[in-house]
Amino acid sequence: MAWFKRTRKPIAADAEKPSRVPEGLWIKCPGCAQILYNKDLVQNLSVCPKCAHHFRLGAADRLRSLFDDAWTEYDRGLTSTDPLRFTDTKPYHERLKAGFAATGLRDAVIVASGRLGGIEAIVAAMEFAFIGGSMGVVVGEKLTRGIERALAARQPIVIVSCSGGARMMEGALSLMQMAKVSAALARLGRAGIPYISVLADPTTGGVTASYAMLGDLNIAEPLALIGFAGARVIEQTIRQKLPPGFQRAEFLIEHGMLDLIVDRREMKNTIVQALRFMGSRSAGAADPVQAAGASAGQAGSVPGPQSDLSR
């Protein structure tokens, strides 16, 4: 028998009235513990205005942060066939479905073409929310097609990596994508067309071991985790304590593994400046501001020939 008995009915929650504070309206910054208004954060490209902590950015938001205006997406419908019928704690095809429900994407990358500061370019952005941004057959194929498009149109390509590495549910097939994408990039390099790699937090495993490190310019976001094997695995293997800041962008740039660390709010300007230096020109208009508002009649124009700077 209970010692205490509730004599009155508990106050019923009013089910009709929605909460005055919708979920996700405020967010606590892991960098400085400030409570931030989500809308402000989105407007600031998901960078904390107080301490410049870089929150993870989705693939579509990433494209929005780089392109001048609308973009054309390629190969949207490509999806994995689950070639190994793989099951771990749950079947791979269910993970694909969950990824689709969470992101609206069929796989972990969006490849699109549009204009950056007036320069016609291909941009690929990886989506971490889709199975950890892992690189499977579809990611490899979409990136390769994107690179081949860049080659055919003689347009530069920017790949923004945000990935846990190869997709183990596709076994060796996912590992083969490293060679496939790298080979396509080699052809692009031989043609003298620029490739800029942007490494966002995290960029690890097979992605770091292939295309993320193959840029003519490798640019990381501040404090991004970049590495091949996990720090714990390395410590256990070499039986040594790793130095502080190991595998962070700032550590890597000190050891010559990166070219630049750029704040996300400056990323677009930096990329445009680099592309201009490598010989890319704005399409149709001399002024990139004009190019952004250019009429549809210029849609078919191609950028000028690449100068020797890009070789």
Q: Does 98 bind Zn ion (CB under 5 A)?
A: no
Among 41, 45, 47, 48, binds Zn ion (CB under 5 A): 48
DSSP 64: H
Q: Which residues fall within 8 angstroms of residue 191, CB to CB, at 6 or more apart?
A: 151, 154
Q: Which lies closer to Zn ion via its Cβ, residue 32 or residue 183?
A: 32
Shortest separation between residue 56's beta carbon and Zn ion, angstroms: 14
Shortest separation between residue 33's beta carbon and Zn ion, angstroms: 7
Q: Does 40 bind Zn ion (CB under 5 A)?
A: no
Q: Which lies closer to Zn ion via its Cβ, residue 53 or residue 95?
A: 53
Closest CA to 153 of 2, 308, 310, 303: 303
Q: Does 28 bind Zn ion (CB under 5 A)?
A: no
Shortest separation between residue 265's beta carbon and Zn ion, angstroms: 14
Which residues does residue 159 pair with via DSSP β-bridges, in sequence order? 124, 197
Q: Which lies closer to Zn ion via its Cβ, residue 33 or residue 70?
A: 33
Q: Does 76 bind Zn ion (CB under 5 A)?
A: no
Locus of tokens 């889709």: 130
CA distance 142 to 284: 28
Q: Does 30 bind Zn ion (CB under 5 A)?
A: no
Q: Does 45 bind Zn ion (CB under 5 A)?
A: no
Among 27, 31, 56, 228, binds Zn ion (CB under 5 A): 31
Q: Does 188 bind Zn ion (CB under 5 A)?
A: no
Q: Which lies closer to Zn ion via its Cβ, residue 29 or residue 275?
A: 29
Token pair recorded at residue 23? 């979920």
Closest CA to 167 of 205, 202, 199: 205
Among 42, 51, 231, 299, binds Zn ion (CB under 5 A): 51
Q: Does 29 bind Zn ion (CB under 5 A)?
A: yes
CA distance 191 to 150: 10
Residues making up the chain, counted from first to last: 311
Closest CA to 196 of 223, 163, 219, 178: 219
* Residue 11 phi, psi dihedral angles, 5° rounding: -65, 125
Q: Does 32 bind Zn ion (CB under 5 A)?
A: yes
Among 41, 45, 53, 119, binds Zn ion (CB under 5 A): 53
- Whether residue 145 contacts residue 103, with contact meaning beta carbons closer than 8 Å, is answered with no
Which residues of the chain form contacts with Zn ion (CB under 5 A)? 29, 31-32, 48, 50-51, 53
